[in-house]
Structure 1
Amino acid sequence: MSDALPELDPVIHAQARLRVVSSLSTLREGDSISFPRLQDILRMTAGNLSVHLRKLEDAGYVEVVKTHQGRTPATLVHLTRRGRLAFDDYTAALQALLTPRTDPPSGAAKPPRTEEPT
């Protein structure tokens, strides 16, 4: 077993992006949510949400689709397969960080041994 602590994905780790990805992860694979609905759920400004979605989109974690519903423009957002895998890896790494270790990491001070009285 490696003594190295797991790395947390810096793209997801930013608080706002973590909120976005965790919200999108509750959707079934292939389902989308409208930008205004996501904005409402997260209570983020349109500009702030757009900036974070762009970072996630650049990493391939989300897809933003601009379409029309009738004559009304609509923006839909969904988590990609890569985004789901990255979020699964992120949550596993976080769980590993939070799970107490049974063996101290190498180089760590071991607790003092107590001798049984004879």
Structure 2
Amino acid sequence: MSGLQLDPVIHAPVRLQICAILSAVSEAEFSLVRGETGVSDSVLSKHVKQLEDAGYLTVRKATLASRQRTWLSLTKVGTRAVAEHFRALQRLAASIPELRK
């Protein structure tokens, strides 16, 4: 099982969900990601901050219809890190005999 490089920043369940959501789109509104992950604003903000501090995610704020909106997107570094993390998860899953049947 050599070459298994799980990223501890990405691996936490909520951050893994955030990364999976953002890997499918160019950007997503904070409220959409909150709804998909099922966590509160404060919990999502904490995880977003950790991903942002790691350089994996960018936050864009703008006013739309007189309301402050926040959009999230993966950076190029984040996109590569997420892809490598999912490859590592696939290698890990492939090593489990019951999953190979």
The answer, yes or no, to whether TM exceeds 0.5 is yes
Equivalent in the alignment of 1:50 = 45
Q: Are 1:89 and 2:84 matched, yes or no?
A: yes
Task: Map Cα deviations across residues 68-100 of structure 1 (whole Å, 9 max, x no partner).
Answer: 114221111111111110011001111112223
Equivalent in the alignment of 1:62 = 57
Which has the larger helix fraction? 2
Of 10, 13, 24 in structure 2, the residue corresponding to residue 12 of structure 1 is 10
| Unmatched 5+ stretches in structure 2 | 97-101
| Unmatched 5+ stretches in structure 1 | 102-118
Mark the structure with the bigger radius of gyration. Answer: 1
Of the structure 1 ranges 15-24 and 66-75, higher mean CA displacement relative to structure 2 is found in: 66-75
User: Which residue identity lines up with residue 34 of structure 2 in the other structure?
Assistant: Q
Higher RCO structure, 1 or 2 (CA under 8 Å, sep 6+):
2
Q: How many residue pairs are counted as aligned between the two chains?
A: 96
Q: Tell me the percent identity.
A: 33
Q: Please provide the CA RMSD for this pair.
A: 1.6
State the TM-score, normalizing by the size of structure 2. 0.86
User: Runs of 4 or more off by more than 6 Å in structure 1?
Assistant: none
Q: Are 1:32 and 2:30 matched, yes or no?
A: no
